[in-house]
Amino acid sequence: MSVSHSESELELEPLPAAAHLLPRPVFDYFAGAAANEETYRANIRAFRRYHFLPRCLRPVASIDSTTTVPPLPTLSAPLLVAPMAMQCMAHPDGELAVARAARAERLAYVASTFATTSLEDIAATDVPRLFQLYCFSDRSITRDLIHRAARARYSAVVVTVDAPRFGRRLRDERNAFQLPPHLSFVNFAHLPSQHEKTTMHALSCRIDQRITFDDIRHYVKLSPIPIWVKGILHPSDAVAAIEAGASAIVVSNHGGRQLDGSIPALDALPQVVAAVNNRVPVLFDSGVRCGEHVVKAIAMGAAAVLLGRPVLWALVEGGEPSVRSYFKDIKQQIHITMKLLGAPSIKDISSDLVTQVNMSKL
Ligand SMILES: Cc1cc2nc3c(=O)[nH]c(=O)nc-3n(C[C@H](O)[C@H](O)[C@H](O)COP(=O)(O)O)c2cc1C
Ligand SMILES: CCCCCCC(=O)C(=O)O
């Protein structure tokens, strides 16, 4: 199967080296999105519609990009690794390589429910960490994952709420994509059926399609650690999540992998931030590709940003050292952007520093 890339797509996002290093079905699973992949592309394009309005003659000799998003420890930059399933398909060290690189760079790691390394083994790297949770119809599975995350000293559980089922991923359908046979969904090692540990369909069928904000309330009550909610686009859902007890919101459209035609996540951010009104931190992902994007999202109200596919491409290229060097690069891009923007610290990245107005028309 070949996926054609028009010139404009390549201009939007050059094909990563990983495209030539991975088996096609694996690359397509990582790179692909839902249906026509319009939301995927719109996420990246959205950043072009917001422009910096830099300030000058501000003291920027020293730039401090550290930030704190409770209950995580202080991070060297407002960056977390987004939860991404099956990282051992990208490199044999998979999740451990990314977690170790994040720890070395004092960034946080969000472990996926569908990781190919157990949540306990990821915790052993001592990276600042959160556990991403898919809720299962069998509540005992969900409860067990929450308690395991708490015992392994994860700072919070991030419940993904935009995937009652997975999106219509045409590339995966065409490739009949499956987890390669040497890997398994190790967080479910205790399940009696071998089939469930290795088959995407069997596990995804167990995801609870009935969950509501009442269930979030239920999990908030039973969880020993805070609950965050990931996958919010509508401001009213952000408010409902806070009322249900969520301690943070992640504005995200899952990198365009769920409902194609959804609003670019960046365009959804300001209204969610306004509705949340400083009650809890609002984090952001979907389409972040460079330090300038990170700073735009912060200016638009995000407390921190989750990095997605670019982390996987670095992992494919060279494991832990490449991921670490990618983190160093993006941090340097953030520093340069802050300096040129006249914002020496994260709290100085205020909303007036980004505008949607076309300045050439003024
Ligand atoms: C290969 C892959 C696997 C993912 N797995 C998960 C997951 O297990 N749980 C989850 O909440 N989000 C998952 N996501 C979504 C990411 O957390 C994040 O929202 C998305 O990658 C952001 O878009 P971007 O990569 O275009 O920046 C996955 C994304 C990718 C690309
Ligand atoms: C049963 C395994 C499915 C993993 C899906 C992970 C995910 O959220 C994604 O976007 O892919």
State the DSSP code for 51. Answer: E
The interaxial angle of helices 265-276 and 235-243, nearest 10 deg, is 50
Per-residue pLDDT, averaged over 107-120, amounts to: 98
- Cβ–ligand 2 distance for 188 under 6 Å, the answer no
Nearest Cα residue to 311 out of 288, 336, 284 = 288
The answer to whether residue 265 is domain-embedded is yes
Tokens representing 285?
């992902």
CA-proximal residue: ligand 2, atom 1 (nearest): 200
- Cβ–ligand 1 distance for 85 under 6 Å, the answer yes
The answer to whether residue 3 is domain-embedded is no
CA-proximal residue: ligand 2, atom 2 (nearest): 200
Cβ contact 40:33 at 8 Å? yes
Cβ contact 135:178 at 8 Å? no
Q: Which H or E element spans position 113?
A: none
CA distances (Å), origin 29, targets 4, 112, 170, 256, 346? 16, 15, 10, 13, 34
User: 10 Å Cβ neighbour count for 101?
Assistant: 28
Q: How far is the CA of 127 from the centre of ligand 2 (A)?
A: 22
Give the whole-angstrom CA distance, residue 238 versus residue 272: 6
Report pLDDT digits (tens) over 270-304: 999 999 999 999 999 999 999 999 999 999 999 99
pLDDT value at 345 more than 90: yes
- The active-site residue, picked from 20, 190, 234, 254, is 254
Buried (b) or exposed (e) across 15-31, using 16+ Cβ within 10 A? ebebbeebeebbbbbbb
The answer to whether residue 149 is domain-embedded is yes
Q: What ipTM was predicted for this assembly?
A: 0.99
Strands (E), 49-203: 51-52, 79-81, 108-111, 129-133, 157-160
Per-residue pLDDT, averaged over 256-261, amounts to: 98
- Its domain, for residue 140, covers 17-355
Report pLDDT digits (tens) over 223-235: 999 999 999 999 9
Nearest Cα residue to 319 out of 104, 149, 131, 113 = 104
16-30, 130-144, 184-198: least confidently modelled range:
184-198
Cβ contact 355:53 at 8 Å? yes
- SS3 (DSSP) at 79: strand
- In this prediction, residue 3 has a pLDDT band, given cuts at 50, 70 and 90, of very low
Give the whole-angstrom CA distance, residue 122 versus residue 112: 10
pLDDT of 361: 54
Binding-site residues:
29, 83-85, 112, 132, 134, 160, 169, 230, 252, 254, 257, 285-289, 308-309
pLDDT value at 120 more than 60: yes
- In this prediction, residue 2 has a pLDDT band, given cuts at 50, 70 and 90, of very low
The answer to whether residue 9 is domain-embedded is no
Give the whole-angstrom CA distance, residue 294 versus residue 298: 6
Per-residue pLDDT, averaged over 298-318, amounts to: 98
The answer to whether residue 361 is domain-embedded is no
What is the maximal distance between C-alpha atoms in the chain?
66
Per-residue pLDDT, averaged over 111-135, amounts to: 98
CA distances (Å), origin 249, targets 102, 134, 275, 297, 302? 22, 16, 11, 14, 10
Whether 190 sits among the annotated catalytic residues: the reply is: no
Q: How far is the CA of 6 from the centre of ligand 2 (A)?
A: 27
pLDDT of 197: 72
**201 phi/psi in degrees, rounded to 5:** -60, -45
The answer to whether residue 78 is domain-embedded is yes
Tokens representing 198?
């290795």
- In this prediction, residue 191 has a pLDDT band, given cuts at 50, 70 and 90, of confident
pTM listed for this prediction: 0.96
Q: How far is the CA of 166 from the centre of ligand 2 (A)?
A: 7
Give the whole-angstrom CA distance, residue 179 versus residue 94: 14
Give the whole-angstrom CA distance, residue 188 versus residue 198: 9
pLDDT of 90: 98
Q: Which residues contact 340 (CB under 8 A, 6 or more apart)?
A: 54
pLDDT of 5: 56
CATH number at residue 146: 3.20.20.70
End-to-end CA distance of the chain: 48
The answer to whether residue 5 is domain-embedded is no
The answer to whether residue 99 is domain-embedded is yes
State the total domains in the chain. 1
User: 10 Å Cβ neighbour count for 351?
Assistant: 12
Per-residue pLDDT, averaged over 27-48, amounts to: 98
**DSSP code per residue over 191-228:** SS-HHHHH-HHHHHTTB-TT--HHHHHHHHHH-SS-EE
Q: What is the mean pLDDT of the chain?
A: 95
Cβ contact 208:136 at 8 Å? yes
Give the whole-angstrom CA distance, residue 271 versus residue 219: 26
